[in-house]
Structure 1
Amino acid sequence: MNSELFVGLMSGTSMDAVDAVLVRFADDRPQCLARRATPLPQDLRDALLALAHPGADEIDRAMQLDARLARTFATAVRAVLDDAGIAARKVRAIGSHGQTIRHAPQAAEPYTVQIANPALLAELTGITVVADFRRRDMAAGGQGAPLAPAFHAAFFRRADADVAVVNIGGIANLTVLPCDPADAVRGFDTGPGNGLLDAWTQRYLGVPVDRDGAWAAGGDVDRDLLACLLADPYFAQEPPKSTGREHFHLDWLDRHLARPGAPRAPRDVAATLVELSAQSIAAACLAQVPAAAEWLIGGGGVHNAHLMARLRAHAPVPLHPTTARGVDADDLEAIGFAWLARRTLLGLPGNLPEVTGARGPRVLGAIHPA
């Protein structure tokens, strides 16, 4: 496997699109040959968002969406291969994260669920699919997430300085990369990224994203509300930890807004949500990697100019998109799952026990042959 092609697929907590990348690995380094973001149809997105919370007929709805997502993923694969002019037979495998619809590492019997039927995806594309990466780590006593730190360590670790890597999707996560090789890589979910702001924007503006954070930028932060939100026990919990829409969702926010004296201007709430993301990310970075020479930022959050400005206001060191270090910020997670698929086929572990809390390194994922 000195030089082979892989497709990486990622549909994150924001549930807005399927990110597909075609990656060539040469000497274990990724070269992105093509990328394509395939938007999820609005009715499919709405159904997925509804499924992320308990409700009736969950099994039937989940299995129907499992197949629909696989077909959408297959469309994304065909599109990115067409963009690159590459035939499916030349691709070694697809690494598919799938769509998380429930993540419960603290349950009496911990579980995590990602859908986008990998068997159907293999059938539709004619390409081997590696999927279901999280459950093996969870079976070994881990959180099943985050899995990106192993990829971050392989490509962003420096010998001369500590580095913080922050991926800002619907949920934000931090990877701590110490320069000392004797120090373990660490990582965890810091809390909300774009997800709460997106949901609030959808509720009040009827659009899925606050472009550039322009709406939130015109509001005033409610300091009392912010303090209440930051008092959530998750932020003080020690790693390993992971979270998702099961915890940070609009019902969670609404409970805080129901208190006496809560702000009534939706734009002020939007501004407060941006500050919540910025402060919780910054607090995690400052606590976990105080000597970092730089904070590298990936994910959709890099396009929220207001969020980035607020994050810079709290950062004592320069912020750079991961693009500046050779991995496009928009492709970071999708490339990571192409890399994990390659690790699976090589029989190499893809988790970091220091990050997830698993009992040891594990080869992750299930293989669905073409």
Structure 2
Amino acid sequence: MTNATLKVLGFMTGTSLDGIDMAVIDTDGEAKLDFGPWAEKPVPAAVRSLLEDTVKAALKWPRGAEEPAIFTEARKAMVEWHAESSHAFLKANGLAYGDLNVMGVHGQTVLHERPKAGVPGRTVQLFDGQALADLTGVDVVCDFRQADIQAGGEAAPLAPVYHRALAQKAGLELPVVVVNLGGVANITLIDADLNLTALDTGPANGLMDQWMRLHSRGDYDHEGQIAASGTVSADILKQYMSHAYFGAKAPKSLDRYDFTLEGVQGLSVEDGMATLSAFTVESLMAGIGLVGAKPKTVILAGGGRQNTFLVSQIAKRLAPARVIAAEDLGWRGGAIEAEAFAYMAARSLKGLPISFPGTTGVKAPLTGGNLFRPRARKLSASA
């Protein structure tokens, strides 16, 4: 299987609970990489509500205690959502489940605690790989983070190995930094020798989207217009940046809920958004500075790349580096994480590493992911 090219469907459901990303790639898990179709689909209101309640239960879940009962309900809903979404996606693109070699599923992160002070980390990505394999007749790889956390790593970020494949495919002059602006922001530094360094830098869209919903102003700040119209509170920004996380060494990872809106309570909608946007920028700069990155090019991916005000602030701070959107390189900015888990599924099947000392702090390069094979024959007709 070492040189075999696989057709893989990858899925990503982020901590912002905004939807599901699906992408097909053809890959050998190494240098070969060809893009197939991709799509984004919003989360149904009932699923979002269930996942929000599941996150609340997860945040109160003591170590060693039996998992909250709502986890079972959420897993079932996640499988049904992935099955329905992929069925429609494949059909719309003239594909069937029988065309796929494997599916790579991230699952829904409802809890992520980084290791600290001798206490191992804990991370939960809710899914049921066996159930999806049985429903679709396709092999499923999921639980990508567990092996790393069990080996003492941070279990995040995992996308850097795919960012490197993209940079190599594009023939970019190194060093390069890839910035993912999702619920949390993370960076991947690819140096001249193709070594990887990565870390979560701080909140990206998570707090800003939460602030918008809190004030019934929609799900996100379109193009950063509200942030651009407000005034940053320097004191509150300084207070956010005094968090112990920013003094920790890299690599390091965050939970979507490690930071809250408490600091900006009492501010106007505009000033709160301006301050949260500034916090995203400031924490990103701190992360890039922490790893000593002096990139020639910075590539922006994730939903935050569409926030024109945020992007302008980042570009201003990173000059003279060239700051570009993923699309400027022919990448699909909204699909990168789904593609990444498709790519990692291929690597998992081949026993290739997906996490590294420089990306998660694990002691040696480590593969990950659990394989679930369907208990019935593969579907060969239609999706």
Task: State the TM-score, normalizing by the size of structure 1.
Answer: 0.92
Query: Aligned residue for 1:41?
Result: 44
Query: Identity percentage over the alignment?
Result: 30
Give distance in 2, aligned partners of 1:44 and 1:84. Answer: 25
Matches within 5 A, 1:101-116: 101-106=110-115, 108-116=119-127
CA contact (8 A) 2:250 2:290 kept: no
Aligned residue among 94, 97, 118 for 1:85: 94
1:213, distance to aligned residue in structure 2 (A): 1.6
Any unmatched runs of 5+ in structure 1? none
Gaps of 5+ in 2: 375-383
The alpha-carbon deviation at position 245 of structure 1 amounts to: 2.1
2:310 is aligned with 1:299 = no
Alpha-carbon distance in 2 for matches of 1:272, 1:58: 36
TM-score, normalised via structure 2 length = 0.89
The answer to whether residue 161 in structure 2 is matched with residue 161 in structure 1 is no
Report which stretch shifted further, 46-55 or 138-147: 46-55
| Offset of residue 124 of structure 1 | 1.9
The residue identity in structure 2 corresponding to 1:171 is V
CA gap 1:58/1:363 in 2 versus in 1, 3 angstroms: closer
My pick for the range that moved more, 49-58 or 337-346, is: 49-58
Code of the aligned partner of 1:169? G
Residues 289-323 of structure 1: per-residue CA shift (max 9 Å, x gap): 44210111111111111111111121111111222
Query: Is 1:19 the equivalent of 2:21?
Result: yes
Q: Which shows bigger deviation, 22-31 or 316-325?
A: 22-31
Q: Deviations over 1:165-209 (max 9, x none)?
A: 10110000010111135xx31001001010000000000025222
Partner Cα separation in structure 2 for residue 118 and residue 206 of structure 1: 37
Map of 1:175 onto structure 2: 188
Q: 1:47 and 1:224, CA in 2 relative to 1: closer, same or farther beyond 3 A?
A: same
Q: Which whole-Å CA distance do the structure 1 matches of 2:198 and 2:257 have between them? A: 20
**Which structure has more RCO (C-alpha within 8 Å, separation ≥ 6)?**
2
1:22-79 deviation line (CA, Å, top 9, x unaligned): 1122784332221121211123212212322335896211110111011111122112
Aligned to 1:124, the other structure's residue is in SS state helix
SS at match of 2:98: helix
Which of these residues, 91, 94, 105, is aligned with residue 96 of structure 1?
105
Q: Distance in 1 between matches of 2:275 and 2:172?
A: 38
The equivalent of 2:377 in structure 1 is none
Distance across 1 between alignment mates of 2:317 and 2:87: 42
For residues 1-370 of structure 1, what are the structure 2 equivalents within 5 Å? 2-25=4-27, 28-53=31-56, 54-55=59-60, 59-106=68-115, 108-156=119-167, 160-181=173-194, 184-248=195-259, 252-254=260-262, 256-257=263-264, 264-316=267-319, 317-370=321-374
Q: How much does 1:83 deviate?
A: 2.3
Distance 1:159 1:68 in 2: 41
- Name the CA distance, whole Å, in 2 between partners of 1:109 and 1:290: 29
Q: What RMSD over aligned residues (CA atoms) do the two structures have, in Å?
A: 2.0
